[in-house]
Amino acid sequence: MPYELRAATPDDTSAVYGLIVELKQKEYDRDTFATGFAANLRNPQQFYQLAVMNNEVVGLVGMQIMFPLNLNCWVGEIQELVVLPQMRGLNIGQALLAWAEEQARLRGVKQMELSSNKARIHAHRFYQREGYEHHRYRFTKAL
């Protein structure tokens, strides 16, 4: 089944919201989400690419580029990577990840990073197949 990749726009807010709900398996306040997504779209260091099949958004990758001083290089962080369950196995996730890596290379990024929930074993295997290695723990605190 053919799909195309294209940049996300504000018109995609509802579809992107649906993908994030699928990824996180929980609902969010839609107004807060829309405000945040719009702000991210205006951020020149933030990139969103969608996979579209038959005019339906079926996948998303979100990447932020930053320069952590402790790494002394530009880093691309995959913040979201999700494909609808019924579309998995069609190499859409692989294509979205490859797109992000290529965009990062073009911008001088030397390292890619991502976080994945420890329960998402299938995702971990996918990332390892794509050349990612487990290096550290991430700690969070709600404020």
pLDDT tens sequence across 25-57: 999 999 999 999 999 999 999 999 999 999 999
Residues counted in the chain: 143
CATH architecture, domain defined by 4-129: 3-Layer(aba) Sandwich (3.40)
The ranges assigned to domains in the chain are 4-129
Furthest-apart CA atoms within the chain: distance in Å: 44
Distance CA 127, CA 129 (A): 5
Full-model pTM: 0.90
pLDDT tens-place values along the chain, 143 residues long? 699 999 999 999 999 999 999 999 999 999 999 999 999 999 999 999 999 999 999 999 999 999 999 999 999 999 999 999 999 999 999 999 999 999 999 999 999 998 888 888 888 898 889 888 888 777 778 89
